[in-house]
Amino acid sequence: MSQLFLPFSIGNLPLKNRIVIAPMCQYSAENGDATDWHLIHLGHLALSGAGLLMIEATAVEPEGRISPADLGLWSEANETALKKVLTAVRKYSPIPIAIQLAHAGRKASSHVPWEGGQLIPVEQGGWPTLAPSATPYGADEPPPVALDRAGLQRVLQAFVLAAQRAHRIGIDVIEIHAAHGYLLHQFLSPLSNARTDEYGGSLENRMRFPLAVFEAVRAAVPAEMPVGIRISGTDWVEGGWDVEQSVAFGHALRQRGCAFIHVSSGGLSPRQQIPLGPNYQLPLAEKIRSETGLPTIAVGLITEPEQAETIVAEGRADMVALARGILFDPRWPWHAAAKLGAQVEAPPQYWRSQPRGLTRLFGDVRIGQR
C-alpha cells in the first residue's frame, strides 16, 4: 500500500493523502484582489487529487506585497474577491484549502519576476519598505524603514485581521510565512536583524516578534482551524539562521499550538550558497520533525512519485509539497497514483480518462454511456 496516499490529519482536519500543493505567487492580482486568473489557476489545481491546496503568499497590508500585483487580504474588497473565487472552486472540488499569510518586509516593492524582479524605486511607483533594521537586502538598494513599536503592533494586527478574513470566507488552514527572506524571517536571522531592543540580539529576542504574530493569529481564529508556519530551515550563509535555531523555533511554536511546519530554505541574502539537488532541503525537515515532533511538510526538487513515496515511507517528513512541478504537470497526483498502485480522487467528468488497465485508479467508479 502506498504511504504517500494514506490519509493524514492536520489537527482535526483530515486530508485524503500526503500530497500538498505549495503556495506559489501568481503576481496576477489587482489592488490585492483575486482575479479570473486565480479562478483558473486554483480551479484546475483543485481537481489535481492532492490532499491540500495552499493559496499563494497573501499580503496582510499593502506595504507587505512583494510586487504591486500580489494577492492581498487587507480589505473588504480583497475578501469579497477571494470569496468569489473560493465559492466557484468549492462548487466542484472538496479539496481542503489553506492560505499563506505574508509580509514581504524589505523584499517588498519589487517588479514581477518576468519583468526582472528588482526593487521598484519610490519615484517609479514603488513604496518604502519595512524591516526589523535599516539594513537593505541588496547593497545597491536604499535602506528599509526599521519598524518602531507602533509599526510592529500595526503589522501584528494586520496578520490578525487577515486571518479573521480567511476564516470568514471558509479557508480551512492558515500558514504564516516566515521563510524566504520576508519580514518574519528577517526578524529571525541575525543577518537582517540588528536591533538592540527586546526584538534583536539573542535567539530568544529574534524569535519574539514572529512568535507574537503566531500567537495572535492562533488566538484570532477558532481552535479547530489549524495554524502552521513556513520557515527557511537555513539561510545557507555562515553566521545566519540555521537548522539548530530552526529546531529551537519549532519547540517554541509547538508550545503555542502550531499544527505543522513547512520547511524550505534560503531567500534572505544574495550571499546564499544553496546546494541544489533532489531532496536538498529534506534533511532540514527531517531534523526538525525528529527533534520537535511537529508534523512537517518537505519541499524542494521533489519531482518523482517514487521519491515522494520514499520520503513519507521512511518517516523523513509527514507530507510532501509540490510547487513548480505541479505547475508543469497539474495531474501529478494522478500519475503518481498510477505508478504507485494507489487510488486518487477525481471529478466524475474525468473518470473516462483512465488509461486502459488502470480502471481502479479513481476508485470503484461506475461509468455508463448510451
Which tens digit of pLDDT belongs to each residue from 250-281?
A: 999 999 999 999 999 999 999 999 999 999 99
Structural domain total, the chain:
1
114 is written with which cell numbers?
A: 518576468
Q: Would residue 350 count as lying in a domain?
A: no
CATH number at residue 129: 3.20.20.70
Q: Which pLDDT value is given to residue 367?
A: 73
What is the set of active-site residues? Answer: 182
Q: Would residue 339 count as lying in a domain?
A: yes
Report whether 160 contacts 220 (CB < 8 A): yes
Q: Would residue 102 count as lying in a domain?
A: yes
Q: Which pLDDT value is given to residue 360?
A: 87
Residue-range definition of the domain harbouring residue 171:
8-344
Q: Would residue 12 count as lying in a domain?
A: yes
pLDDT in tens, 225-251: 999 999 999 999 999 999 999 999 999
Q: Would residue 357 count as lying in a domain?
A: no
How much of the chain exceeds pLDDT 70, in percent?
A: 99
Beta strands at 145-146 and 97-102: parallel, antiparallel or unpaired: unpaired
Q: Which pLDDT value is given to residue 209?
A: 98
Report, as ranges of residue numbers, the positions in the chain whose pLDDT lies below 50.
none
Q: CA angle at residue 53 from 78 to 306, to 5 degrees?
A: 155
270 is written with which cell numbers?
A: 544574495
HSE-up of 343 (CA within 13 Å, CB side)?
Answer: 10
Q: Would residue 256 count as lying in a domain?
A: yes
271 is written with which cell numbers?
A: 550571499
Q: Would residue 270 count as lying in a domain?
A: yes
> Which residue matches cell numbers 519595512?
130
136 is written with which cell numbers?
A: 537593505
Cβ neighbour number for residue 85 with a 10 Å cutoff: 23
Q: Would residue 176 count as lying in a domain?
A: yes
